[in-house]
Amino acid sequence: MKLHNRVNGEELKKRIQEDPTPRKTISFYTYANIDDPQSFRDQLFIRWDKIGVLGRVYVASEGINAQISVPEPQHDHFLESLNEVDFLRGIRLNYAVDDNGKSFFKLTIKVRDKIVADGLEVDIFKVAEPARYLNVNQFNELTENPDTILIDMRNHYESEVGHFKDAWCPDVDTFREQLPMVVDHLKDKKDQPIIMYCTGGIRCEKASAYLQYEGFQDVYHLEGGIIKYSRDAREKGLPNKFIGKNFVFDERLHERITDDVIASCHQCGEPFDDHINCKNKACNLLFIQCPTCAEKYEGCCSEACLEITRLPEEEQRELRKGKDNGVRIFSKGRFNLHEGSES
């Protein structure tokens, strides 16, 4: 019985790019007690693989976190698969704001210790509840209060290309380092209204519970995150306070929310907000590169990486042996590469 993808990634990508079947990009999460995450994972893979679902899914004893692409003709069958599971029945689904249907090319479902790596020793939901949700109307109203503190609970490379007006965007690489930073930074403001937001809401469930655990009295978080807020604001004709792009963790890399370009090329400093990965596979750095620099550096982040990509493929493979670039993918995004900064 097939429980994993066995087809070459490039071949899968080619198939989806050429497939005219319309697809919907959907994300959802829930914190729930899953007694046997591995068995749950396997059953989910069998069902979703059968109906052509693609995407990246994390399953843990604390719940599920999913970013997926569903063929439109199979959408009802996908909903049926959710309704078969008690804690997924009626779950809120976030449909992509700016979607070309080419967000994922294979189905990957992994069992993890947690669906959000928070670095907390305590199981926060055993000692605290998530803060109150805000819908688009409530969010817009409360952010008009000059005493309100609005916090972007995403990483620097996400907020760099788009964020809410007047939000504090901590300069961090990971969620686990952000939590203690936020608590320390706001330790003298525990009575002020605090709103937290993220891409789809999953990080703020934990973050808002953690702040309440630390004694903050007036905490809120945006229901469904940036994705739901932007869709609801558009559908209801309400002001959208988000500026720029919403960074997403799939092949699209972003959803365009407004036409504002608030970031700049990391190599020349010109206004630009498209992320790419360095063409040197041994580097794979995620960074912002304008078309002029893309031509000059041939899609690489530096002259050094450009020289490596010009080597024969066999020599490049030798240079990559034994190197793990996974943790470096997002590590330099906040630095100006054209100024020679290093991380």
Q: Which long-range contacts (CB under 8 A, 24 or more apart) does 272-280 make?
A: 273/161, 273/162, 273/244, 273/245, 275/157, 275/161, 275/247, 275/333, 277/329, 278/302, 278/305, 279/305, 279/309, 280/305, 280/306, 280/308, 280/309, 280/316
Q: What is the DSSP letter of 271?
A: B
Q: In one letter, which amino acid is 73? A: P
Q: Phi/psi of residue 71, each to 5°? A: -60, 130
HEC profile of 66-129: EEEEEEHHHHHHHHHHHHCCHHHCCCCCEECCCCCCCCCCCEEEEECCCCCCCCCCCCHHHHCC
Non-local CB neighbours of 131 within 8 Å, separated by 6+ positions: 196, 204, 208, 209, 211, 212, 219, 220, 221
Q: ∠ at Cα 56 (52, 57), nearest 5°?
A: 100
Strands (E), the chain: 23-31, 54-60, 63-71, 94-95, 107-111, 132-134, 149-152, 162-164, 194-197, 219-222, 242-247, 254-256, 275-277, 286-288
CB atoms under 10 Å from CB of 59, counted, come to 23
Q: Which of 169, 198, 278, 301 is catalytic?
A: 198
DSSP state string for 28-40: EEEE---S-HHHH
Look up 198 and say whether it is catalytic. yes
Tokens 């630095």, residue located:
335
- The catalytic residue positions are 198
